[in-house]
Chain A
Amino acid sequence: MRTGWNVAEVIGVTQETPTARTLRLRLPGLAGHRAGQHVDVRLSAPDGYTAVRSYSVASAWPGDELDLTVEELSDGEVSPYLVHQVAVGDRLEVRGPVGGWFVWDPADPSPVQLIAGGSGVVPLMAMLRAHATADPRSPGAAAPFRLLYSVRSPAAVYYRAELDALARSPLVDVTLVYTREAPPGSRRPPGRLEAPALAASTLTPAENPAVFVCGATAFVETVADWLIEAGHSASRIKTERYGGTGTSPGTRP
């Protein structure tokens, strides 16, 4: 197996939201990946300066193509480039997909609880997609999947249409929590995710779900604490922190 840096070609770009873009990459020789993995992307300036950042894979298909969805941090070094500059036909240096821990395994029959803050939905979307297309004979194909997705506003939701379609499956449940702006007529006013709302819209500890939490570090930190307080076993909770102080769903002003 060859590892290290490889050259991927950008074969498609889709504006996901006003501040996020999905890049479709072709990585010659790639034969699928595990749902939840990430790649490292390396940018090089003409003077030799390089910057490396990690991005989760959003897609879950077998071939040599991958989707990444990148949220722009306005003062960021790499994300604005990926969101605004990169064009179809460009080449990017990529390492991976890597990571064998924060992955969903179709052989695991456990119910799955996914909890996303903002762009943290990306690897969880890969898990939902892998679940939807899993071999019906694999134990995980029949597992119930729930996604709790905390997001700023309706306009900031990634993969909107596909999430709606996935949620039509009796096995899949999608709950959106709007933190700053809720859609008109929604029952819950916008506001941070709190521990009671988290408990009310996630699988219970008694159901012993495999839990995946992903988002900015502060979000993951808070949610993981709440889950443990609610009785989930720490060994059932897998986390992927994206860094940054971001906005914590609770406690912090």
Chain B
Amino acid sequence: MGIVSPGFFGRRRRDDPALPPGQYLTESFPVLSAGPTPRIGPDEWEFTITTETGQVHRWSWDEFLALPQEDVTEDIHCVTSWSKLGTTWRGVSLDTLFESVESDCEFTMAHSYGGYTTNVPLEDLLGGKAWIAHEFDGAALEPEHGGPARLLVPHLYFWKSAKWVRGLELLRQDEPGFWESNGYHMYGDPWREERYW
């Protein structure tokens, strides 16, 4: 199956060693809408980390912005096969957010405004590998791309970088999130093409 359409190359290109297998470069930033875009104002926004004992660590928008900020440049890889190289973000490292958190858990579930969930192992969030980002390309993150703030875990497929993130829940055992419960891989390493179960 699969006949080649002569002269068709698509909008995406595969000409870069920074591309994981099966990925194509895109210049634009496609909006993947799984649902209506939640609109959350800074006064209602908060971010929480909830431990296995039920302890809740909470940051208001102002408290969150008062934390040390990092500027990062990362390649992002969407499971729908587009990749975007050298994207620039500003946000708070999860190392900073986890400084005061006591937990024995190895797994987390990210929860978003609007109900989306995705699971990420804790060790993938720590060690300078993940952020709660609130700026993209020098401007406030637009609601379409997950603003006011989204999780950014660039070394995993981009569905793990939950848009409109509102909290992380620590879990003793790995549990599937929204897409992981319906066909998508529990871990999602783009270099090993962990797209589906």
Q: Is A90 an interface residue (CB 8 A)?
A: yes
CB of A47 within 8 A of CB of B5, answer no
CB of B3 within 8 A of CB of A45, answer no
Among A5, A44, A45, A51, residue most surrounded by chain B Cβ atoms (within 10 Å): A45
CB of B3 within 8 A of CB of A85, answer no
Chain B 81-125 interface residues, beta-carbon cutoff 8 Å to A: 81
CB of A51 within 8 A of CB of B3, answer no
CB of B10 within 8 A of CB of A51, answer yes
CB of B9 within 8 A of CB of A44, answer no
Chain B 1-37 interface residues, beta-carbon cutoff 8 Å to A: 1-12, 14, 22, 24
Within the assembled complex, what's the spacing in Å between the Cα atoms of A92 and B10? 15
Output the nearest chain B residue to A87 by Cβ-Cβ distance: B6
Question: How many residues of chain A get a CB closer than 8 Å to chain B's CBs?
Answer: 18
Residues of A near B11 (CB, < 8 A) are 77
| Shortest distance from the beta carbon of A12 to any chain B beta carbon, whole Å | 18
CB of B3 within 8 A of CB of A91, answer yes
Output the nearest chain A residue to B12 by Cβ-Cβ distance: A49
CB of A45 within 8 A of CB of B4, answer yes
Within the assembled complex, what's the spacing in Å between the Cα atoms of A45 and B2? 10
Question: Dominant SS at the B interface?
Answer: loop
Q: Is A174 an interface residue (CB 8 A)?
A: no
| Shortest distance from the beta carbon of A6 to any chain B beta carbon, whole Å | 10
Output the nearest chain A residue to B28 by Cβ-Cβ distance: A75
Residues of A near B2 (CB, < 8 A) are 44, 48, 50, 93
Q: Is A101 an interface residue (CB 8 A)?
A: no
Within the assembled complex, what's the spacing in Å between the Cα atoms of A155 and B12? 33
Within the assembled complex, what's the spacing in Å between the Cα atoms of A13 and B2? 23
Residues of A near B22 (CB, < 8 A) are 48
CB of A44 within 8 A of CB of B14, answer no
Q: Is A166 an interface residue (CB 8 A)?
A: no
CB of A85 within 8 A of CB of B7, answer yes
Among A43, A48, A49, residue most surrounded by chain B Cβ atoms (within 10 Å): A49
Within the assembled complex, what's the spacing in Å between the Cα atoms of A51 and B4? 11
Residues of A near B3 (CB, < 8 A) are 7, 44, 91, 93
| Shortest distance from the beta carbon of A13 to any chain B beta carbon, whole Å | 14
CB of A47 within 8 A of CB of B14, answer yes
Within the assembled complex, what's the spacing in Å between the Cα atoms of A50 and B1? 12
| Shortest distance from the beta carbon of A39 to any chain B beta carbon, whole Å | 15
Interchain residue pairs A-B with the least CB separation, the first 3: A43-B5, A77-B11, A49-B10
Q: Which residues of A contact B (CB under 8 A)?
A: 5, 7, 43-51, 77, 81, 85, 90-93
10 extra A-B contacts, CB within 8 A, seeds A45-B5, A47-B14, A48-B2: A44-B5, A49-B10, A49-B14, A51-B10, A77-B10, A81-B7, A81-B8, A90-B5, A91-B3, A93-B3
